[in-house]
């Protein structure tokens, strides 16, 4: 009986929490259609069970039935959240332009990643300071970083594929990209001292995986239990952060000391310039704004965490899906390799930002993979924070405070009215469109702007949209092109298995951890 008693307590707690969640759910206008089940408690139960296996189909059904007619719809979004209001793409610009006093993008992101638990300090994750540091510095620093990042890519690729020779070798795609991306990304985040430090990198990768695990688990749990379970799950996050801090803490302390002394006119540092990385950007902004609380090594190390999370696994997954898509069309591999050869630097030199911008076919192949193999169903999420709610344009429907509003990305990406043969990967789709547009506009420089992988419009927004779009997307574009260059110029690649199982759980794609390809080193490889 004692064992049964202790087993019943968490079960009853879960059931009570689920009922309370339902009682306090945001109440929507009856006019807004609901996908799958009607409203009511038992429909809510069935919908949230179905969310984990049927969300992709529901989002596509809602797009065809409502979004294409300019109407929003409601869809389940997990046990601990109200239904999402999924807007049609025709409302994207309108949503983007809403003031933050009406809809809050930062709050939506924080809720979505359970930031108050996963990122260890709710004040830090809720503060825009880290994002402002990136927005202010990354794009002006990027041209000067390309050479260093190129060297890091070459080192990381050669290390990841060190056992590959002239014979075909089977490799795990996820493991390979996971071996490449963290060090390359951290060349921009923490500089050359730490970007190859295995203890630091392992701690950061483990941290990102812990965040992903926690996000999935907390979606299964009623909101009332989050303060307990969220903190329990985050214990591993603290462990990984402490491991990382032992490596990055001394670097941060030295950087703060040197930059502060230089600002104060120390003659010993007159000719010293700090390396351009995220640590420097944070310290520089803190010094400019006299924010002494931001000149704390612990605070800076915790500001690294959401950036590491956003930059590592999403880039790895983008790279894995791109390779899988690309290798289904061998002729496209030849086209991209030819373009890379035409623009590659002479031996002994590095790629430049200008040369990378010339890789329009490589850019097109990545953007096309983002389109076909999007790993989120919806994007550009906002939480309604205005007490009077949010009134949808042209409909008069009022979305109440606390509601989550988002835009249907999966439907737009696979809309036959927007893309010819939308479920087929065409690596040169956007470069061909760009060429046709340039010819039609007499080679106008404006003609190519909307077709790059980092540009956004109402039917392509994998990096978000508007001022809250990913500020690191230009770095990611350079990073992806550099990795593509070193892979395609130095290695032959082919599919090992033509099937690629892509499993969706809720609104996100599970990474294809088991995907494999065959690789061999080219005789002309510089490796």
Annotated binding site for heme: 470
CA-based nearest residue to 466, from 99, 7, 211: 99
CB within 8 Å of 264: residues ≥ 6 apart: none
CB within 8 Å of 442: residues ≥ 6 apart: none
- Quick check: 470 and 310 in contact, CB under 8 A? yes
CA-based nearest residue to 80, from 33, 113, 36, 121: 113
Q: How is the chain split among helix, strand and coil, in percent rounded to 5? A: 60, 10, 30
The DSSP bridge partners found for residue 457 are 460
Binding residues: 470
In sequence order, what DSSP letters do the residues of 379-399 get, joined into one string? Answer: EEEEEE--TT-EEPTTT-PEE
- The secondary structure element, H or E, covering residue 172 is strand 169-172
CA-based nearest residue to 131, from 442, 468, 431: 468
Apex 69 CA angle, 68 and 71, nearest 5: 100
CA distance 315 to 473: 10
* Cβ-based neighbour number of residue 518 at 10 Å: 17
Task: From residue 7, give the alpha-carbon distance in Å to each of 4, 147, 224, 232.
Answer: 5, 58, 19, 18
CA distance 186 to 321: 22
User: How many residues would you count in the chain?
Assistant: 527
Q: In a 3-state reduction of DSSP, which class is residue 492?
A: strand
Task: From residue 204, give the alpha-carbon distance in Å to each of 180, 315, 475.
Answer: 14, 14, 19
- Tokens 């605070």 belong to residue: 299
């Amino acid at each position: 009986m004692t064992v049964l008693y202790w087993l019943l307590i968490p079960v009853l707690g879960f059931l009570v929490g689920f009922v309370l969640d339902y009682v306090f759910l945001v109440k929507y206008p009856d006019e807004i259609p609901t996908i799958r089940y009607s409203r009511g408690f038992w429909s809510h139960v069935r919908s949230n069970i179905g969310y984990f296996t049927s969300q992709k189909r529901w989002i596509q059904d809602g797009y065809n039935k409502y979004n294409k007619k300019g109407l929003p719809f409601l869809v389940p979004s997990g046990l601990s959240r109200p239904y999402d209001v999924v807007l049609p793409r025709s409302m994207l610009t309108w949503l983007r332009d809403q003031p933050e006093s009406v809809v809050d993008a930062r709050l939506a992101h924080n809720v979505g990643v359970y930031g108050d638990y996963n990122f260890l300090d709710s004040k830090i994750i809720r503060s825009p300071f880290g994002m402002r540091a990136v927005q202010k510095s990354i794009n002006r620093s990027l041209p000067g970083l390309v050479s260093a990042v190129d060297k890091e890519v070459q080192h990381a690729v050669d290390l990841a594929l060190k056992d590959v020779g002239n014979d075909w070798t089977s490799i795990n795609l996820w493991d390979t990209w996971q071996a490449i991306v963290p060090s390359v990304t951290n060349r921009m985040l923490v500089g050359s001292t730490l970007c190859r430090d295995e203890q630091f990198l392992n701690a950061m990768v483990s941290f990102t995986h812990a965040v992903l695990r926690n996000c999935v688990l907390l979606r299964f749990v009623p909101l009332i239990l989050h303060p307990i379970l969220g903190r329990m799950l985050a214990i591993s996050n603290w462990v990984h952060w402490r491991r990382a801090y032992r490596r990055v803490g001394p670097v941060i302390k030295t950087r703060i000391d040197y930059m502060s002394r230089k600002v104060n006119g120390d003659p010993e540092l007159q000719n010293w310039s700090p390396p351009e990385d995220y640590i420097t950007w944070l310290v520089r902004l803190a010094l400019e704004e006299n924010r002494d609380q931001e000149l704390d090594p612990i605070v800076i190390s915790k500001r690294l965490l959401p950036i590491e999370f956003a930059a590592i696994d999403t880039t790895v997954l983008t790279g894995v899906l791109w390779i899988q898509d690309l290798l289904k069309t061998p002729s496209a591999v030849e086209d991209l390799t030819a373009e890379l050869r035409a623009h590659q630097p002479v031996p002994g030199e590095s790629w430049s930002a200008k040369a990378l911008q010339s890789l329009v076919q490589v850019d097109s192949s990545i953007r096309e993979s983002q389109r076909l193999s999007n790993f989120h169903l919806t994007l550009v999420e906002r939480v309604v924070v205005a007490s009077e709610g949010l009134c949808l344009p042209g409909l008069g429907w009022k979305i109440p405070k606390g509601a989550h509003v988002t835009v249907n990305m999966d439907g737009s990406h696979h809309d036959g009215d927007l893309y010819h043969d939308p479920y087929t990967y065409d690596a040169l789709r956007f470069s061909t469109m760009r060429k046709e547009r340039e010819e039609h506009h007499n080679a106008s420089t404006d003609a190519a702007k909307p077709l790059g992988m980092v540009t956004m419009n109402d039917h392509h927004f994998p990096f978000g949209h508007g001022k809250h779009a990913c500020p690191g997307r230009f770095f990611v574009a350079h990073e992806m092109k550099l990795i593509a260059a070193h892979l395609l110029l130095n290695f032959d690649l082919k599919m090992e298995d033509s099937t690629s199982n892509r499993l969706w759980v809720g609104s996100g794609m599970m990474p294809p951890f088991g995907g494999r390809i065959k690789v061999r080193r080219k005789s002309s490889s510089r490796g």
